[in-house]
Structure 1
Amino acid sequence: MNLPLVRNKLLVVGILVSIFMSSCTSKQDVVYFQNAKSFETIVDTDTFKAKLKIGDIVSVYISTLDLAVTRPYNLVRATGERGGDLIDYLIDSEGNIDYPVLGKIKLLGLTIEEAKALFKKKFSEGKLLKDPVVIIRVMNFRITVSGEVRSPGVYPVSGERISILEALGMAGDLTIKGRRDNILVVRDFNGTKTYTRIDLTNKEVFNSPVYYLTQNDYVYVEPNNSAISAASGDLRIGTIISITSFILTTALIFVTRN
Protein backbone atom coordinates (compact mmCIF):
# COMPACT_ATOMS: atom_id res chain seq x y z
CA MET A 1 0.00 0.00 0.00
CA ASN A 2 1.27 3.43 -0.96
CA LEU A 3 1.04 5.11 2.45
CA PRO A 4 2.14 8.63 1.33
CA LEU A 5 -0.55 8.61 -1.37
CA VAL A 6 -3.23 7.43 1.05
CA ARG A 7 -2.14 10.01 3.59
CA ASN A 8 -2.29 12.84 1.02
CA LYS A 9 -5.77 11.75 -0.09
CA LEU A 10 -7.02 11.71 3.48
CA LEU A 11 -5.51 15.13 4.06
CA VAL A 12 -7.21 16.60 0.97
CA VAL A 13 -10.57 15.12 1.99
CA GLY A 14 -10.17 16.49 5.51
CA ILE A 15 -9.36 19.96 4.20
CA LEU A 16 -12.37 20.00 1.88
CA VAL A 17 -14.69 18.84 4.64
CA SER A 18 -13.32 21.47 7.01
CA ILE A 19 -13.80 24.26 4.50
CA PHE A 20 -17.32 23.12 3.74
CA MET A 21 -18.28 22.83 7.39
CA SER A 22 -16.84 26.24 8.28
CA SER A 23 -18.42 28.11 5.38
CA CYS A 24 -21.97 26.77 5.58
CA THR A 25 -24.77 29.21 6.44
CA SER A 26 -27.80 27.75 8.17
CA LYS A 27 -31.42 28.51 7.33
CA GLN A 28 -31.85 30.17 10.73
CA ASP A 29 -29.24 32.76 9.75
CA VAL A 30 -31.00 34.06 6.64
CA VAL A 31 -34.78 33.53 6.83
CA TYR A 32 -36.90 36.51 7.88
CA PHE A 33 -39.77 36.35 10.42
CA GLN A 34 -39.08 32.74 11.37
CA ASN A 35 -41.62 32.64 14.21
CA ALA A 36 -44.53 33.90 12.09
CA LYS A 37 -47.16 31.15 11.81
CA SER A 38 -49.20 30.32 8.73
CA PHE A 39 -52.41 32.38 8.47
CA GLU A 40 -51.42 34.33 11.56
CA THR A 41 -52.96 37.80 11.74
CA ILE A 42 -51.07 40.71 13.20
CA VAL A 43 -53.09 43.87 13.78
CA ASP A 44 -51.09 46.99 13.00
CA THR A 45 -51.51 49.30 15.97
CA ASP A 46 -48.61 51.53 14.99
CA THR A 47 -49.36 55.25 15.02
CA PHE A 48 -45.88 56.41 14.03
CA LYS A 49 -45.63 59.79 12.36
CA ALA A 50 -42.34 61.44 11.50
CA LYS A 51 -41.62 64.68 13.33
CA LEU A 52 -39.82 67.69 11.95
CA LYS A 53 -36.20 68.10 12.99
CA ILE A 54 -33.57 70.81 13.03
CA GLY A 55 -31.96 70.91 9.59
CA ASP A 56 -35.07 69.74 7.74
CA ILE A 57 -35.86 71.62 4.57
CA VAL A 58 -39.60 72.02 4.06
CA SER A 59 -41.74 73.19 1.19
CA VAL A 60 -44.89 75.10 2.14
CA TYR A 61 -47.64 75.81 -0.39
CA ILE A 62 -50.77 77.78 0.46
CA SER A 63 -53.87 77.65 -1.72
CA THR A 64 -57.31 79.32 -1.67
CA LEU A 65 -59.98 80.05 -4.25
CA ASP A 66 -58.40 83.46 -4.75
CA LEU A 67 -54.83 82.78 -5.92
CA ALA A 68 -53.98 86.47 -5.80
CA VAL A 69 -54.27 86.67 -2.01
CA THR A 70 -51.98 83.69 -1.51
CA ARG A 71 -49.21 85.04 -3.73
CA PRO A 72 -47.32 86.75 -0.85
CA TYR A 73 -47.04 83.36 0.92
CA ASN A 74 -45.89 81.34 -2.07
CA LEU A 75 -42.58 82.96 -2.91
CA VAL A 76 -40.74 81.60 -5.93
CA ARG A 77 -37.23 81.85 -7.26
CA ALA A 78 -36.53 82.26 -10.93
CA THR A 79 -35.40 79.10 -12.72
CA GLY A 80 -35.13 80.24 -16.33
CA GLU A 81 -37.64 78.87 -18.81
CA ARG A 82 -39.64 77.08 -16.13
CA GLY A 83 -40.64 80.39 -14.59
CA GLY A 84 -39.93 79.60 -10.96
CA ASP A 85 -39.97 77.09 -8.10
CA LEU A 86 -41.32 77.51 -4.61
CA ILE A 87 -38.78 78.69 -2.08
CA ASP A 88 -37.95 76.06 0.53
CA TYR A 89 -37.46 76.81 4.23
CA LEU A 90 -34.75 75.49 6.54
CA ILE A 91 -35.67 74.66 10.13
CA ASP A 92 -32.95 76.52 12.02
CA SER A 93 -31.09 75.61 15.20
CA GLU A 94 -33.95 77.01 17.28
CA GLY A 95 -36.55 74.96 15.43
CA ASN A 96 -38.05 77.84 13.45
CA ILE A 97 -38.56 78.82 9.85
CA ASP A 98 -38.77 82.42 8.72
CA TYR A 99 -41.99 82.58 6.73
CA PRO A 100 -43.33 85.52 4.66
CA VAL A 101 -45.79 87.80 6.50
CA LEU A 102 -46.14 85.38 9.43
CA GLY A 103 -42.50 85.68 10.50
CA LYS A 104 -40.92 83.06 12.78
CA ILE A 105 -42.88 79.81 13.01
CA LYS A 106 -41.68 77.04 15.31
CA LEU A 107 -42.01 73.66 13.57
CA LEU A 108 -39.55 71.62 15.61
CA GLY A 109 -41.08 68.38 16.91
CA LEU A 110 -44.33 68.73 14.98
CA THR A 111 -45.74 66.16 12.60
CA ILE A 112 -46.69 67.31 9.12
CA GLU A 113 -50.38 67.37 10.11
CA GLU A 114 -49.62 69.40 13.23
CA ALA A 115 -47.58 71.86 11.18
CA LYS A 116 -50.48 72.28 8.74
CA ALA A 117 -52.86 72.93 11.63
CA LEU A 118 -50.47 75.53 13.05
CA PHE A 119 -50.38 77.44 9.75
CA LYS A 120 -54.16 77.39 9.46
CA LYS A 121 -54.47 78.66 13.02
CA LYS A 122 -52.12 81.58 12.33
CA PHE A 123 -53.95 82.51 9.13
CA SER A 124 -57.26 82.38 10.98
CA GLU A 125 -56.13 84.33 14.04
CA GLY A 126 -54.68 87.08 11.88
CA LYS A 127 -57.74 87.04 9.60
CA LEU A 128 -55.35 86.75 6.68
CA LEU A 129 -56.86 83.85 4.75
CA LYS A 130 -60.16 81.98 4.88
CA ASP A 131 -60.09 78.17 4.78
CA PRO A 132 -56.67 77.85 3.15
CA VAL A 133 -55.30 74.53 1.93
CA VAL A 134 -51.82 73.99 3.35
CA ILE A 135 -49.41 71.53 1.73
CA ILE A 136 -46.12 70.80 3.51
CA ARG A 137 -43.41 68.42 2.36
CA VAL A 138 -39.97 67.54 3.71
CA MET A 139 -37.62 68.08 0.80
CA ASN A 140 -34.48 66.46 2.24
CA PHE A 141 -36.03 63.24 3.58
CA ARG A 142 -33.38 60.64 2.91
CA ILE A 143 -31.97 57.55 4.59
CA THR A 144 -28.58 55.88 4.38
CA VAL A 145 -28.12 52.11 4.12
CA SER A 146 -24.64 50.61 4.33
CA GLY A 147 -22.83 47.40 5.18
CA GLU A 148 -23.72 43.99 3.76
CA VAL A 149 -26.40 45.06 1.26
CA ARG A 150 -26.24 44.78 -2.50
CA SER A 151 -26.45 48.51 -3.22
CA PRO A 152 -25.36 50.64 -0.25
CA GLY A 153 -26.00 54.36 -0.55
CA VAL A 154 -28.12 57.37 0.32
CA TYR A 155 -31.74 57.09 -0.81
CA PRO A 156 -34.31 59.91 -1.06
CA VAL A 157 -37.80 59.25 0.30
CA SER A 158 -40.80 60.82 -1.39
CA GLY A 159 -43.45 60.02 1.24
CA GLU A 160 -43.78 60.95 4.91
CA ARG A 161 -42.42 57.67 6.22
CA ILE A 162 -40.64 54.49 5.13
CA SER A 163 -40.23 51.13 6.84
CA ILE A 164 -36.85 49.50 7.35
CA LEU A 165 -37.97 46.66 5.05
CA GLU A 166 -38.66 49.16 2.27
CA ALA A 167 -35.30 50.83 2.88
CA LEU A 168 -33.44 47.53 2.66
CA GLY A 169 -35.42 46.71 -0.49
CA MET A 170 -34.27 49.98 -2.05
CA ALA A 171 -30.71 48.92 -1.26
CA GLY A 172 -31.18 45.57 -3.02
CA ASP A 173 -31.74 43.58 0.20
CA LEU A 174 -29.05 41.98 2.34
CA THR A 175 -26.31 39.88 0.82
CA ILE A 176 -25.92 36.30 2.01
CA LYS A 177 -23.08 37.61 4.20
CA GLY A 178 -25.29 40.12 6.02
CA ARG A 179 -26.29 39.45 9.61
CA ARG A 180 -30.08 39.61 9.80
CA ASP A 181 -30.53 39.39 13.55
CA ASN A 182 -28.59 42.46 14.63
CA ILE A 183 -29.23 45.37 12.25
CA LEU A 184 -28.30 48.76 13.67
CA VAL A 185 -30.37 51.93 13.19
CA VAL A 186 -28.72 55.21 14.19
CA ARG A 187 -31.16 58.08 14.65
CA ASP A 188 -30.31 61.72 15.24
CA PHE A 189 -32.90 64.03 16.72
CA ASN A 190 -31.64 67.55 17.22
CA GLY A 191 -28.13 66.51 18.21
CA THR A 192 -29.08 63.48 20.31
CA LYS A 193 -28.19 60.13 18.75
CA THR A 194 -29.93 56.87 19.57
CA TYR A 195 -28.69 53.39 18.66
CA THR A 196 -31.28 50.65 18.22
CA ARG A 197 -30.76 47.08 17.02
CA ILE A 198 -33.47 44.94 15.44
CA ASP A 199 -33.82 41.29 14.49
CA LEU A 200 -35.33 40.64 11.06
CA THR A 201 -35.60 36.92 11.77
CA ASN A 202 -38.24 37.65 14.41
CA LYS A 203 -41.75 38.91 13.66
CA GLU A 204 -41.45 41.31 16.63
CA VAL A 205 -39.53 43.58 14.28
CA PHE A 206 -42.90 45.09 13.35
CA ASN A 207 -43.22 46.43 16.90
CA SER A 208 -39.79 48.02 16.96
CA PRO A 209 -39.62 51.80 17.50
CA VAL A 210 -37.35 51.99 14.45
CA TYR A 211 -39.46 49.82 12.14
CA TYR A 212 -40.49 53.10 10.51
CA LEU A 213 -37.49 55.26 9.73
CA THR A 214 -37.26 59.03 10.03
CA GLN A 215 -35.37 61.48 7.88
CA ASN A 216 -31.59 61.02 7.91
CA ASP A 217 -31.67 57.67 9.72
CA TYR A 218 -28.61 55.47 9.18
CA VAL A 219 -29.05 51.71 8.74
CA TYR A 220 -26.04 49.43 9.08
CA VAL A 221 -25.99 45.71 8.27
CA GLU A 222 -23.00 44.07 9.88
CA PRO A 223 -21.23 41.07 8.29
CA ASN A 224 -21.80 37.58 9.63
CA ASN A 225 -19.03 35.29 10.87
CA SER A 226 -18.25 33.83 7.44
CA ALA A 227 -17.74 37.29 5.97
CA ILE A 228 -15.52 38.32 8.87
CA SER A 229 -13.42 35.19 8.43
CA ALA A 230 -12.99 35.84 4.73
CA ALA A 231 -12.03 39.47 5.31
CA SER A 232 -9.44 38.54 7.93
CA GLY A 233 -7.65 36.10 5.64
CA ASP A 234 -9.56 32.95 6.59
CA LEU A 235 -7.58 32.55 9.81
CA ARG A 236 -10.28 30.41 11.36
CA ILE A 237 -10.39 28.09 8.35
CA GLY A 238 -6.61 27.84 8.40
CA THR A 239 -6.72 26.78 12.04
CA ILE A 240 -9.36 24.15 11.32
CA ILE A 241 -7.31 22.81 8.40
CA SER A 242 -4.20 22.56 10.57
CA ILE A 243 -6.06 20.73 13.32
CA THR A 244 -7.77 18.39 10.84
CA SER A 245 -4.46 17.65 9.13
CA PHE A 246 -2.86 16.81 12.46
CA ILE A 247 -5.70 14.51 13.49
CA LEU A 248 -5.77 12.69 10.14
CA THR A 249 -1.99 12.27 10.10
CA THR A 250 -2.00 10.93 13.63
CA ALA A 251 -4.83 8.53 12.78
CA LEU A 252 -3.04 7.32 9.68
CA ILE A 253 0.16 6.63 11.63
CA PHE A 254 -1.83 4.74 14.24
CA VAL A 255 -3.55 2.63 11.57
CA THR A 256 -0.34 1.78 9.72
CA ARG A 257 1.41 0.70 12.93
CA ASN A 258 -1.43 -1.62 13.74
Structure 2
Amino acid sequence: MILILLSSCSPRRNLVYFSDLTGKSGESQVITNDIEPRIQTNDLLSITINTLSSESNVLFAVNSNNMNKNGYSEKEGFRVNKLGNVNLPVAGNINLQGLTIEEAQQTVVKSLNNYVKDPIVNIQFLNFRITVIGEVNHPATFTMTNEKMNLLEALGMAGDMTAYGKRENVLLIREIEGKRTIIHMNLNKGDILNSPYFYLKQNDIVYVEPDKGKAIDISPNNRLMPLLIATISAVAVLATTFLNR
Protein backbone atom coordinates (compact mmCIF):
# COMPACT_ATOMS: atom_id res chain seq x y z
CA MET A 1 0.00 0.00 0.00
CA ILE A 2 2.84 2.38 0.81
CA LEU A 3 4.45 1.70 -2.57
CA ILE A 4 1.14 2.37 -4.35
CA LEU A 5 0.67 5.67 -2.54
CA LEU A 6 4.23 6.78 -3.23
CA SER A 7 3.90 5.96 -6.93
CA SER A 8 0.89 8.28 -7.22
CA CYS A 9 2.56 11.28 -5.55
CA SER A 10 3.64 14.21 -7.72
CA PRO A 11 6.74 16.31 -6.94
CA ARG A 12 6.34 19.20 -4.55
CA ARG A 13 5.89 22.48 -6.44
CA ASN A 14 6.15 26.17 -5.69
CA LEU A 15 2.71 27.79 -6.02
CA VAL A 16 3.84 31.26 -4.90
CA TYR A 17 4.29 34.07 -7.43
CA PHE A 18 7.64 35.88 -7.28
CA SER A 19 8.78 33.76 -4.35
CA ASP A 20 12.37 34.92 -4.79
CA LEU A 21 11.63 38.60 -4.09
CA THR A 22 13.53 39.53 -0.97
CA GLY A 23 13.46 43.32 -1.21
CA LYS A 24 12.06 45.50 1.55
CA SER A 25 8.39 46.47 1.49
CA GLY A 26 7.86 49.77 -0.32
CA GLU A 27 10.98 49.42 -2.44
CA SER A 28 10.37 51.02 -5.87
CA GLN A 29 11.72 50.12 -9.29
CA VAL A 30 11.86 52.12 -12.51
CA ILE A 31 9.59 50.56 -15.17
CA THR A 32 11.63 50.06 -18.32
CA ASN A 33 9.62 47.39 -20.15
CA ASP A 34 6.32 49.27 -20.62
CA ILE A 35 6.39 49.27 -24.42
CA GLU A 36 3.33 50.64 -26.22
CA PRO A 37 1.74 48.27 -28.74
CA ARG A 38 2.30 49.19 -32.36
CA ILE A 39 -0.13 48.93 -35.24
CA GLN A 40 0.28 45.80 -37.35
CA THR A 41 -1.15 44.61 -40.63
CA ASN A 42 -4.70 43.23 -40.35
CA ASP A 43 -5.41 45.33 -37.24
CA LEU A 44 -8.87 46.85 -37.02
CA LEU A 45 -8.85 50.48 -35.92
CA SER A 46 -11.54 52.87 -34.82
CA ILE A 47 -10.66 56.27 -36.31
CA THR A 48 -12.85 59.18 -35.26
CA ILE A 49 -12.32 62.54 -36.98
CA ASN A 50 -13.91 65.81 -35.87
CA THR A 51 -13.50 69.18 -37.56
CA LEU A 52 -14.94 72.69 -37.37
CA SER A 53 -17.09 71.91 -40.41
CA SER A 54 -20.33 69.97 -39.92
CA GLU A 55 -20.21 68.86 -43.55
CA SER A 56 -16.75 67.37 -43.07
CA ASN A 57 -17.86 65.64 -39.88
CA VAL A 58 -20.64 63.87 -41.77
CA LEU A 59 -18.13 62.76 -44.39
CA PHE A 60 -15.76 61.29 -41.80
CA ALA A 61 -18.47 59.71 -39.60
CA VAL A 62 -17.96 56.12 -40.74
CA ASN A 63 -17.53 54.49 -37.33
CA SER A 64 -21.20 54.45 -36.33
CA ASN A 65 -22.71 51.39 -34.72
CA ASN A 66 -24.43 48.86 -36.98
CA MET A 67 -26.24 45.60 -36.54
CA ASN A 68 -24.47 42.55 -37.87
CA LYS A 69 -26.18 39.46 -39.33
CA ASN A 70 -26.49 37.93 -35.85
CA GLY A 71 -28.35 40.95 -34.51
CA TYR A 72 -25.51 42.25 -32.33
CA SER A 73 -24.28 45.80 -32.40
CA GLU A 74 -20.78 46.10 -33.75
CA LYS A 75 -18.53 49.03 -34.52
CA GLU A 76 -17.14 49.56 -37.98
CA GLY A 77 -13.47 50.25 -38.32
CA PHE A 78 -10.59 50.67 -40.70
CA ARG A 79 -8.64 47.54 -41.55
CA VAL A 80 -4.87 47.89 -41.92
CA ASN A 81 -4.06 46.17 -45.21
CA LYS A 82 -1.01 44.09 -46.10
CA LEU A 83 0.88 47.22 -47.07
CA GLY A 84 0.21 48.80 -43.68
CA ASN A 85 -2.25 51.36 -45.04
CA VAL A 86 -5.74 52.47 -44.01
CA ASN A 87 -8.02 54.05 -46.59
CA LEU A 88 -9.64 57.22 -45.19
CA PRO A 89 -12.27 59.35 -46.90
CA VAL A 90 -10.76 62.28 -48.82
CA ALA A 91 -7.20 61.62 -47.61
CA GLY A 92 -6.96 58.16 -49.19
CA ASN A 93 -4.30 55.65 -48.14
CA ILE A 94 -2.27 56.52 -45.03
CA ASN A 95 0.48 54.21 -43.80
CA LEU A 96 0.19 53.49 -40.06
CA GLN A 97 2.12 50.23 -39.78
CA GLY A 98 4.62 50.16 -36.92
CA LEU A 99 3.26 53.31 -35.27
CA THR A 100 1.92 53.69 -31.75
CA ILE A 101 -1.60 55.05 -31.33
CA GLU A 102 -0.29 58.53 -30.55
CA GLU A 103 2.05 58.50 -33.54
CA ALA A 104 -0.77 57.29 -35.78
CA GLN A 105 -3.05 60.12 -34.61
CA GLN A 106 -0.36 62.67 -35.43
CA THR A 107 0.18 61.09 -38.86
CA VAL A 108 -3.53 61.24 -39.72
CA VAL A 109 -3.81 64.85 -38.52
CA LYS A 110 -0.87 65.82 -40.72
CA SER A 111 -2.47 64.15 -43.75
CA LEU A 112 -5.86 65.79 -43.15
CA ASN A 113 -4.42 69.29 -42.71
CA ASN A 114 -4.31 69.53 -46.50
CA TYR A 115 -8.10 69.16 -46.68
CA VAL A 116 -9.68 70.40 -43.41
CA LYS A 117 -8.70 72.88 -40.71
CA ASP A 118 -7.62 71.76 -37.25
CA PRO A 119 -8.91 68.16 -37.34
CA ILE A 120 -9.17 66.25 -34.06
CA VAL A 121 -8.32 62.57 -34.50
CA ASN A 122 -8.90 59.75 -32.03
CA ILE A 123 -7.69 56.20 -32.80
CA GLN A 124 -8.31 53.00 -30.85
CA PHE A 125 -7.73 49.31 -31.40
CA LEU A 126 -10.91 47.33 -32.06
CA ASN A 127 -9.12 43.97 -32.11
CA PHE A 128 -7.01 44.21 -28.95
CA ARG A 129 -7.75 40.67 -27.79
CA ILE A 130 -5.93 38.48 -25.29
CA THR A 131 -6.56 34.72 -25.05
CA VAL A 132 -5.79 32.83 -21.83
CA ILE A 133 -6.10 29.04 -21.90
CA GLY A 134 -4.81 25.99 -20.06
CA GLU A 135 -4.80 25.58 -16.28
CA VAL A 136 -6.82 28.67 -15.37
CA ASN A 137 -10.25 28.79 -13.77
CA HIS A 138 -11.99 30.66 -16.60
CA PRO A 139 -10.18 30.26 -19.93
CA ALA A 140 -11.46 32.74 -22.51
CA THR A 141 -10.65 35.40 -25.08
CA PHE A 142 -10.92 38.94 -23.73
CA THR A 143 -11.44 42.04 -25.89
CA MET A 144 -9.80 45.00 -24.21
CA THR A 145 -10.71 48.69 -24.28
CA ASN A 146 -7.35 49.56 -22.74
CA GLU A 147 -4.25 48.81 -24.81
CA LYS A 148 -2.10 48.47 -21.69
CA MET A 149 -2.44 44.97 -20.29
CA ASN A 150 0.15 42.91 -18.43
CA LEU A 151 0.42 39.18 -17.84
CA LEU A 152 -0.89 39.26 -14.26
CA GLU A 153 -3.97 41.23 -15.26
CA ALA A 154 -4.73 38.72 -18.03
CA LEU A 155 -4.41 35.80 -15.59
CA GLY A 156 -6.64 37.66 -13.12
CA MET A 157 -9.35 38.08 -15.76
CA ALA A 158 -9.16 34.34 -16.38
CA GLY A 159 -9.73 33.61 -12.70
CA ASP A 160 -6.04 32.94 -11.90
CA MET A 161 -4.25 29.62 -12.29
CA THR A 162 -5.57 26.44 -10.77
CA ALA A 163 -3.44 24.49 -8.31
CA TYR A 164 -2.29 22.36 -11.25
CA GLY A 165 -0.99 25.35 -13.25
CA LYS A 166 2.79 25.38 -13.64
CA ARG A 167 3.78 28.86 -12.55
CA GLU A 168 7.34 28.09 -13.58
CA ASN A 169 6.39 27.48 -17.21
CA VAL A 170 3.78 29.88 -18.60
CA LEU A 171 3.82 30.03 -22.39
CA LEU A 172 3.31 33.24 -24.37
CA ILE A 173 2.55 32.94 -28.09
CA ARG A 174 2.88 36.19 -30.05
CA GLU A 175 2.55 36.85 -33.78
CA ILE A 176 4.09 39.99 -35.29
CA GLU A 177 4.20 40.68 -39.01
CA GLY A 178 3.89 37.03 -40.02
CA LYS A 179 6.39 35.73 -37.44
CA ARG A 180 5.40 33.64 -34.42
CA THR A 181 7.40 33.97 -31.20
CA ILE A 182 7.06 31.50 -28.32
CA ILE A 183 8.31 32.58 -24.90
CA HIS A 184 8.53 30.52 -21.69
CA MET A 185 8.10 32.58 -18.51
CA ASN A 186 8.68 31.64 -14.87
CA LEU A 187 6.25 33.44 -12.57
CA ASN A 188 8.05 32.09 -9.51
CA LYS A 189 10.84 34.55 -10.35
CA GLY A 190 10.57 38.26 -9.67
CA ASP A 191 12.63 39.23 -12.72
CA ILE A 192 9.62 38.47 -14.93
CA LEU A 193 8.33 41.91 -13.93
CA ASN A 194 11.12 43.44 -16.02
CA SER A 195 10.69 41.11 -18.98
CA PRO A 196 9.86 42.72 -22.35
CA TYR A 197 7.04 40.18 -22.58
CA PHE A 198 5.40 41.09 -19.26
CA TYR A 199 3.19 43.63 -21.03
CA LEU A 200 0.97 41.96 -23.60
CA LYS A 201 0.15 42.97 -27.17
CA GLN A 202 -2.89 42.50 -29.37
CA ASN A 203 -3.76 38.88 -30.19
CA ASP A 204 -1.33 37.40 -27.63
CA ILE A 205 -2.10 33.88 -26.39
CA VAL A 206 -1.19 32.87 -22.84
CA TYR A 207 -1.07 29.14 -22.16
CA VAL A 208 -0.66 27.73 -18.65
CA GLU A 209 0.81 24.24 -18.75
CA PRO A 210 -0.73 21.63 -16.42
CA ASP A 211 1.36 19.82 -13.84
CA LYS A 212 1.97 16.08 -14.20
CA GLY A 213 -0.09 15.60 -11.06
CA LYS A 214 -3.26 16.42 -12.99
CA ALA A 215 -2.58 13.67 -15.51
CA ILE A 216 -2.21 11.25 -12.62
CA ASP A 217 -5.41 12.45 -10.95
CA ILE A 218 -7.57 12.14 -14.07
CA SER A 219 -5.99 8.89 -15.24
CA PRO A 220 -8.54 6.02 -15.49
CA ASN A 221 -6.04 3.79 -13.74
CA ASN A 222 -5.85 6.17 -10.81
CA ARG A 223 -9.64 6.04 -10.36
CA LEU A 224 -9.29 2.36 -9.60
CA MET A 225 -6.76 3.07 -6.84
CA PRO A 226 -9.34 3.41 -3.99
CA LEU A 227 -10.97 0.16 -5.07
CA LEU A 228 -7.61 -1.57 -5.21
CA ILE A 229 -6.63 -0.30 -1.76
CA ALA A 230 -10.00 -1.36 -0.32
CA THR A 231 -9.59 -4.83 -1.86
CA ILE A 232 -6.08 -5.21 -0.43
CA SER A 233 -7.33 -4.08 2.99
CA ALA A 234 -10.19 -6.56 2.88
CA VAL A 235 -7.85 -9.40 1.89
CA ALA A 236 -5.47 -8.43 4.70
CA VAL A 237 -8.29 -8.45 7.26
CA LEU A 238 -9.56 -11.84 6.06
CA ALA A 239 -6.04 -13.28 6.07
CA THR A 240 -5.39 -12.01 9.60
CA THR A 241 -8.70 -13.42 10.80
CA PHE A 242 -8.00 -16.80 9.17
CA LEU A 243 -4.45 -17.04 10.59
CA ASN A 244 -5.63 -16.20 14.11
CA ARG A 245 -8.07 -19.10 14.21
The answer to whether residue 157 in structure 2 is matched with residue 157 in structure 1 is: no
State the match for 2:199 in structure 1. 212
Query: Which of 18, 21, 30 is 2:6 aligned to?
Result: 18
Query: Which of 56, 59, 75 is 1:72 aligned to?
Result: 59
State the match for 1:256 in structure 2. none
State the match for 1:31 in structure 2. 16
Q: How many pairs are equivalent?
A: 221
State the match for 1:114 in structure 2. 103
State the match for 1:134 in structure 2. 121
Query: Which of 157, 173, 179 is 1:186 aligned to?
Result: 173
Task: Give 1:197's aligned amino acid.
Answer: H
Secondary structure at 2:123 match in 1: strand
TM-score, length-normalised on structure 2?
0.80
State the 1:159 CA deviation: 0.6
Task: Give 2:42's aligned amino acid.
Answer: G
1:76 and 1:85 in contact (8 A); partners too: no
- The worse-fitting range, judged by mean Cα deviation, of 146-155 and 224-233 is 224-233
1:149 and 1:172 in contact (8 A); partners too: yes
1:60 and 1:74 in contact (8 A); partners too: no
State the match for 1:229 in structure 2. 216
Task: Give 2:213's aligned amino acid.
Answer: S
TM-score, length-normalised on structure 1?
0.76
The answer to whether residue 79 in structure 2 is matched with residue 90 in structure 1 is: yes
Unaligned runs of 5+ in 2: 68-72, 233-245
**Which structure has the greater CA radius of gyration?**
1
State the 1:15 CA deviation: 5.2
Residues 234 and 33 of structure 1, relative CA distance in 2, 3 Å threshold: farther
Q: Matched residues in 1 for 2:140 and 2:164: separation?
A: 18
Between the aligned residues of both structures, percent identity stands at: 34
State the match for 1:102 in structure 2. 91
Task: Give 2:185's aligned amino acid.
Answer: I
Stretches of 4+ moved more than 6 A in 1? none
- CA deviation profile, 1:77-117 (whole Å, cap 9, x unmatched): 6748xxx9864111112211111001111111111011001
- The worse-fitting range, judged by mean Cα deviation, of 184-193 and 43-52 is 43-52
2:33 and 2:196 in contact (8 A); partners too: no
State the 1:194 CA deviation: 0.5
State the match for 1:171 in structure 2. 158
Q: Matched residues in 2 for 1:209 and 1:117: separation?
A: 26
Q: Matched residues in 2 for 1:49 and 1:79: separation?
A: 30
